[in-house]
Structure 1
């Protein structure tokens, strides 16, 4: 071998795993079937997935994807068909997802907390050919509004209770058998439709192409300093972007992906130790919840080297590192975009969005999309340099797609400022949405549900600060003349109609709403008033939301 070749080989071996993955998968190969097949050849019996008692090697995962695709083919599912998936964190979720990606079908993950109006909208908008539902969520399907067409084919994961569902007749998830050949999928083909909270309307289905999830795996690995052989440990739900793209981080970088059923503040560190986790994922209030746990002698008895800390309040970073020895990585991304901002490890300015990532363009603009100078706040606009690194639009909503991607930039709806040192800082939301415990809450959807109460003349949903970071949901209610209402009645009214996390914590009965000259409610006035003396606090009252 020539000295130059030796040098090039050494440089390639010394490069980070994410950089090697970019070289291994040229643009046309950035599809999941090719990634799985190639990594299966490379890593073979290395463990890729750990979920409960389930272990999948790289080779087994590729085989499961191909066999899952064949079950879809046998059911008449074709490339481009939608497959709705309502399932918690368990291997069958990934089995269905991988089968769809291998075949070229489109998976539509559904938040398992959705009910009624919100759930109905997803079925109405996505029009799936197949529904795969975990048994505990069969009753949720019964909350779908009359007149909404459900798929004629329904597969069930797990064993149903005797009550089952009145609207669907599921059959068990088919056993895996023969393997399908990978379909001719392209990097720009949609692999998933992920619904993100609407603002002035219902949730929008974000069309995520195959290559976008590839770049999520690359950009996230770069930001978190992921190394080959790391153990990636997530408790976040698979129906959201974060946990789903963490799987791509693992497969692209030769890591093991550990999927826990859900987040538990009391059990987090024991699970991290049990799995020898090296990389973790904490969003918003999760870090605060861990700090609130009683201190123990085992607080540093783990191998966690770093954790994503997007949305973690700045004052939490230092005590978290001091107690647990784990730096939290600031970052910013969205379902429509990617991991577009990332902080240093450890953070040099906790609580900021970090620095703009390589491969991404950003502008801060005014109401006319004119760029603003450094230090002046405006709307954040984003654009990717790599093909299909961002979402391609909103499913079945062309007017919303044009609005969000006008002038060929994605309009985030977030007010942001760029400081002279290169850090970007989130100021507030320009759009009417709320972030609670890692979930986006649509003010519009909650208002629609509450407006159905016969005693309510008008209502306004707005955010109030949470003690744990992020927001709490508050509602101001104007009653119909002659009507009375106890705040707890609103809670009971919302149960089963909207997701449990969207049910308001604060209820304020007002005699009049603050209005603009055009008759619109001034939500800023309600928000700025904070927790007033006439507001009712569900948590202080000891009222629990029932998850119907």
Structure 2
């Protein structure tokens, strides 16, 4: 990964990259880039990191505003033989401080805005690292700025063992402080990115494609995507850093995508663009979603927006610790996931690469097909450890099997139907399935979240544009469902979220009820 951009540039790579805003690393260099220019930026960044004192084996923490230069900085650190740790700026000051203590980084790479927000929360991030480099400002007391490290040549690339730590990313953090997940070259590149570099029929990236990525670039998915996307040489790559449809529309009209990969929340927020006469998604042949559940109305909107004869929606399920475990496809014929098994059916394990087993949460003995249980997974792409929480890592291993912490049903056809995270699961209903049904029946709902407390009926939260909900429509939407508490109606900004847009359910539950206690045990979060 340290020489990825160099090798692509040496091949005469013709991909052009188009950004919705300039890189924080290069604020004056515009929004249009070639691969040779990106390679030069990675080399320049490696020189800056080396000047800041980074050496082989050191850890480099990266915390900044959301942009693809998270991965450029990571590649620069890898080039030096260091181990980058990509941390989302969406994390609270306390969570960032905890993770930085676990990392003990030689260098913290951050922005003035991140430091200022943390200081307002009484968190001094710079005090946790040996040195701090601010990428977008000079003169911040106690830190290095761009002027202090600019203009130094990068040392020669350093190679490492394939099983040594390559990159550190964190889990979503929906239930508390995220875990730090360490991957090696063998796991995240050899087992995950390499398999994406195949030009599969229908779903493989073509040299004529325009790839749109609207993601959280602090997470391991985009590090893996960076490797595969560059190697496949699409015609264009379009990068969105925000989920504002007004800001995204001009860029997408200028470079209409043919393949889209986005966060579930990005799909939700950009959905108004699908309703325009000359919509920005008219050329898309493949939509890809990961990270979190997608609800049927959203899938249906995008498939309908494409003017291709048979666009596909590929839904992946996996974890930071394992990479993707299953996938399945939705088409217009399946009615956006409502026909057949529905969107909660995650498909079958990836052939040859993964195996799944559903077991009793108490005894860990396999349960019969069709009965709910705890999902265990087996894959060679499993990460190395939780940094600083090795006991927690060991507790989630059962021989060669990994405890996902999810409750699901293994169907007779080999597919897996996800019910809930174990910590959120209720014996009364599947929260995720209830959310699907309510969203289908309430077109004005941007999102529905069903929370399960330790006592009382499940609490539904409906997110609307104006924070209002018609009582009669609500009663019609929840007919035939088990008894629910009266709904709480919020706007989008009222809901606490992770860097990938997932609802922080425990935080929201405590915010609404005063306690974060749930119906699950939370032993495997």
State whether TM-score is above 0.5.
yes
Residue 376 of structure 1 corresponds to 371
1:159 maps to 2:152? no
User: 1:316 aligns to what SS in structure 2?
Assistant: helix
Q: Quote the offset at 1:48 in angstroms.
A: 5.5
2:159 pairs, out of 181, 184, 200, with: 184
1:139-194: CA deviations, max 9, x gaps?
A: 1332354799422421112237x9x67xx434226325423221122222222221
2:182 pairs, out of 207, 225, 231, with: 207
1:111 maps to 2:88? yes
Within-5 A mapping of 1:177-326: 177-197=152-172, 202-214=177-189, 215-220=191-196, 224-255=203-234, 256-292=236-272, 295-299=275-279, 302-310=282-290, 311-325=293-307, 326=311
Residue 169 of structure 1 corresponds to 143
| Distance in 2, Cα, partners of 1:260 & 1:295 | 20
| Distance in 2, Cα, partners of 1:239 & 1:393 | 18
| Distance in 1, Cα, partners of 2:39 & 2:100 | 30
1:337 maps to 2:327? no
Within-5 A mapping of 1:22-33: 32-33=1-2
| Distance in 2, Cα, partners of 1:428 & 1:329 | 20
1:504 pairs, out of 500, 508, 518, with: 508
Q: Quote the offset at 1:124 in angstroms.
A: 1.4
Say if 1:80 and 1:106, in contact at 8 Å, map to a contact too.
Answer: yes
Residue 419 of structure 1 corresponds to 411
| Distance in 2, Cα, partners of 1:96 & 1:73 | 12
* Root-mean-square deviation (Å): 4.1
Q: Quote the offset at 1:110 in angstroms.
A: 2.0
User: 2:79 aligns to what SS in structure 1?
Assistant: helix
User: 1:259 aligns to what SS in structure 2?
Assistant: strand
TM-score calculated relative to the size of structure 2: 0.71
Q: Quote the offset at 1:100 in angstroms.
A: 1.0
Q: Quote the offset at 1:415 in angstroms.
A: 0.9
Within-5 A mapping of 1:450-489: 464=460, 466-467=462-463
1:61 pairs, out of 19, 35, 38, with: 38
Residue 327 of structure 1 corresponds to 312
Within-5 A mapping of 1:117-128: 117-128=94-105
Q: Quote the offset at 1:383 in angstroms.
A: 1.9
Q: Quote the offset at 1:301 in angstroms.
A: 6.3
1:39 maps to 2:8? yes
Residue 468 of structure 2 corresponds to none
1:365 maps to 2:359? yes
Q: Which has the larger radius of gyration?
A: 1
TM-score calculated relative to the size of structure 1: 0.69
Q: Quote the offset at 1:405 in angstroms.
A: 2.2
Residue 438 of structure 2 corresponds to none
Residue 349 of structure 2 corresponds to 356
| Distance in 2, Cα, partners of 1:524 & 1:252 | 43
User: 2:88 aligns to what SS in structure 1?
Assistant: coil
Gaps of 5+ in 1: 1-31, 448-457, 469-487, 514-519, 526-548
Q: Quote the offset at 1:89 in angstroms.
A: 3.4
Say if 2:259 and 2:286, in contact at 8 Å, map to a contact too.
Answer: yes
Say if 2:68 and 2:217, in contact at 8 Å, map to a contact too.
Answer: no
Q: Quote the offset at 1:522 in angstroms.
A: 5.2
User: 1:504 aligns to what SS in structure 2?
Assistant: helix
CA 1:419–1:301: 2 relative to 1, 3 Å: closer
Q: Quote the offset at 1:340 in angstroms.
A: 1.9
CA 1:506–1:112: 2 relative to 1, 3 Å: same
| Distance in 2, Cα, partners of 1:207 & 1:463 | 36
